[in-house]
């Protein structure tokens, strides 16, 4: 059954756009999931039908990201925000220290949580320049005996993204990839742990993906609550307690969609094309639109910009809303404008938005 409704130009920062074909399939399967006579939400998480969905989602992520057998893929709850606490709970503690690279509000939140558990230091920060850039690799300072080094691979609020990751040798590298996981090729083997809330590139909210090296898990503290130990979930294939079954099903279907369209290579091609059409509108505007991020730190996922005055910005956002562009307000903490162009946002939305930007400039420039 085809949906005969108009889909919005959805630039929400998260939860955000999902592929239409996935929504349609979920709709089709909603009442009777693959002959069970129940919806996926009504199945036992211990049933064979659910287990197949669960394991397929893990297998698809491993396939798409090239995750080796050295890693566990976990589906947790509590959002990426709980990871800010679980990471230091599991890996920090007395006599241990960790480094944090500060590139925006999410790094600050992760840093603040870690402080509650052990000694933490800022390995680099671009706060002074209003987080317009990712620190250069040479700026990152740490001693070499840290329990881990943490970074945020894409800064959803400021619109910056790491292009190259540090080689940290013996220091385990952990990345919050909430807003750019599966948007480009990443060498997972450089990381001891990657985590991401699903609600931007992977599916609906409610599932947090954790990819963690088995060897790293062995170093984790044991004197913490059962549910907050990674090892609990690793030992039980993320089925220690009831997982968010519907969210995991949707995540698996989104991954299936990525495979169908041609895998990461096609995702990368699309994402570059989508971001370019909007960045071009900024760059060709003779300063009418002012990009927030420095050019070499620009995010392909969250495009942030301002207009010359607050008044003009207000008018721009009001007109954008009127014309059906959803979610283009900047984050409430910094204002301005932001177009989030995650994997499932179609090129047509980005093209339409860039045309709107050009038109608004003509009328107001
Ligand atoms: C980079 C990043 N980290 C963490 C979070 C927090 O995620 P959650 O809402 O899943 O806790 C977000 C949310 O937007 C984010 O963009």
For the stretch 34-79, pLDDT in tens is: 999 999 999 999 999 999 999 999 999 999 999 999 999 999 999 9
Mutation choice for ligand 1 from 156, 175, 330, CB with most ligand atoms inside 8 A: 156
Mutation choice for ligand 1 from 16, 178, 210, CB with most ligand atoms inside 8 A: 178
pLDDT of residue 219: 95
Over range 125-145, report the average pLDDT. 97
Burial (0-12, 13-18, 19+ Cβ within 10 Å), 219: middle
Burial (0-12, 13-18, 19+ Cβ within 10 Å), 167: exposed
pLDDT of residue 74: 99
Over range 181-201, report the average pLDDT. 98
Across the chain, what does the average pLDDT equal? 97
Regarding the beta carbon of 179 and ligand 1, being less than 6 Å apart is answered yes
Closest to 119 (Cα-Cα) out of 149, 95, 90, 91: 95
Model confidence pTM above 0.95 = yes
- Per-residue confidence band for 138, with pLDDT thresholds at 50, 70 and 90: very high
Other CB atoms within a 10 A radius of the CB of residue 340 amount to 23
pLDDT of residue 4: 64
Mutation choice for ligand 1 from 80, 85, 152, 157, CB with most ligand atoms inside 8 A: 80
- Per-residue confidence band for 332, with pLDDT thresholds at 50, 70 and 90: confident
Regarding the beta carbon of 16 and ligand 1, being less than 6 Å apart is answered no
- Per-residue confidence band for 3, with pLDDT thresholds at 50, 70 and 90: low
Burial (0-12, 13-18, 19+ Cβ within 10 Å), 265: exposed
Largest CA distance in the chain: 63
Number of helices (H), then strands (E), belonging to the chain: the values are: 10, 14
Distance (angstroms) between ligand 1 centre and the Cα of 38 equals 32
Active site residues: 106, 176, 200
pLDDT of residue 93: 85
Regarding the beta carbon of 156 and ligand 1, being less than 6 Å apart is answered yes
Burial (0-12, 13-18, 19+ Cβ within 10 Å), 154: buried
Distance CA 13, CA 229 (A): 29
Over range 329-358, report the average pLDDT. 96
Distance CA 257, CA 260 (A): 5
Distance CA 289, CA 277 (A): 14
Closest to 340 (Cα-Cα) out of 308, 303, 365: 303
For residue 210, give both structure tokens: 């954790």
Distance (angstroms) between ligand 1 centre and the Cα of 360 equals 31
In order of 40, 62, 328, 354, the CA distances from 70 in angstroms are: 31, 11, 40, 43
Regarding the beta carbon of 21 and ligand 1, being less than 6 Å apart is answered no
Regarding the beta carbon of 104 and ligand 1, being less than 6 Å apart is answered no
Over range 141-162, report the average pLDDT. 98
Burial (0-12, 13-18, 19+ Cβ within 10 Å), 334: middle
Query: pLDDT per residue over 302-330, tens digit each?
Result: 999 999 999 999 999 999 999 999 999 99
Distance (angstroms) between ligand 1 centre and the Cα of 165 equals 20
Distance (angstroms) between ligand 1 centre and the Cα of 131 equals 17
Helix, strand or coil, per DSSP, at residue 276: helix
Regarding the beta carbon of 80 and ligand 1, being less than 6 Å apart is answered yes
Regarding the beta carbon of 108 and ligand 1, being less than 6 Å apart is answered no
pLDDT of residue 2: 54
In order of 110, 154, 161, 174, 211, the CA distances from 88 in angstroms are: 9, 21, 24, 11, 16
In order of 71, 74, 166, 272, the CA distances from 198 in angstroms are: 19, 12, 25, 21
Binding residue numbers? 46, 80-81, 106, 156, 176, 199, 241-242
| pLDDT above 90: residue 88 | yes
Distance CA 338, CA 305 (A): 6
Crossing angle of the two packed helices 245-261 and 20-29, in degrees rounded to 10: 130
Binding residue numbers for L-glutamate? 46
């Amino acid at each position: 059954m085809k949906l005969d409704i108009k889909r919005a130009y959805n630039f929400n920062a998260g939860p955000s756009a999902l592929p239409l074909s996935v929504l349609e399939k979920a709709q089709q399967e909603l009442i009777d999931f693959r002959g069970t006579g129940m919806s996926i939400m009504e199945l036992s998480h211990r049933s064979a039908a659910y287990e197949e969905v669960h394991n397929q989602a893990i297998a698809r992520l491993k396939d798409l990201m090239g995750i080796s057998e050295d890693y566990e893929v976990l589906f947790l709850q509590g959002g990426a925000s709980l990871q800010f606490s679980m990471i230091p709970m599991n890996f920090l503690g007395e006599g241990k220290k960790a480094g944090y690279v500060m590139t925006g509000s999410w790094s600050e939140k992760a840093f603040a949580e870690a402080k509650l558990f052990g000694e933490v230091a800022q390995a680099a920060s671009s706060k002074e320049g209003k987080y317009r850039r990712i620190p250069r690799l040479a700026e990152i300072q740490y001693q070499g005996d840290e329990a881990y080094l943490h970074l945020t691979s894409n800064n959803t609020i400021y619109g910056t993204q790491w292009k190259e990751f540090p080689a940290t040798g013996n220091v385990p590298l952990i990345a919050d990839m909430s807003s750019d996981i599966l948007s480009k090729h990443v060498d997972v083997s450089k990381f001891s742990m990657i985590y991401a809330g699903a609600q931007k590139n992977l599916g609906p909210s409610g599932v947090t993906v954790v990819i963690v090296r088995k060897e790293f898990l062995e170093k984790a503290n044991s004197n913490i609550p059962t549910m907050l130990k990674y090892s609990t979930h690793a030992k039980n294939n993320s089925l220690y307690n009831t997982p968010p079954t519907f969210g995991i099903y949707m995540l698996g279907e989104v991954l299936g969609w990525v495979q169908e369209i041609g895998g990461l290579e096609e995702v990368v091609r699309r994402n570059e094309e989508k971001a370019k059409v909007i960045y071009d509108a900024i760059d060709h505007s003779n300063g009418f639109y002012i990009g927030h991020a420095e050019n070499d730190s620009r995010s392909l996922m969250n495009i942030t910009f301002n207009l010359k005055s607050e008044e003009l910005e207000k008018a721009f956002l009001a007109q954008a809303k009127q014309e059906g562009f959803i979610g283009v307000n900047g984050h409430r903490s910094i204002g301005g404008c932001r177009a989030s162009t995650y994997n499932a946002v179609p090129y047509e939305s980005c093209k339409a938005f860039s045309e709107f930007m050009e038109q608004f400039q003509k009328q107001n420039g």
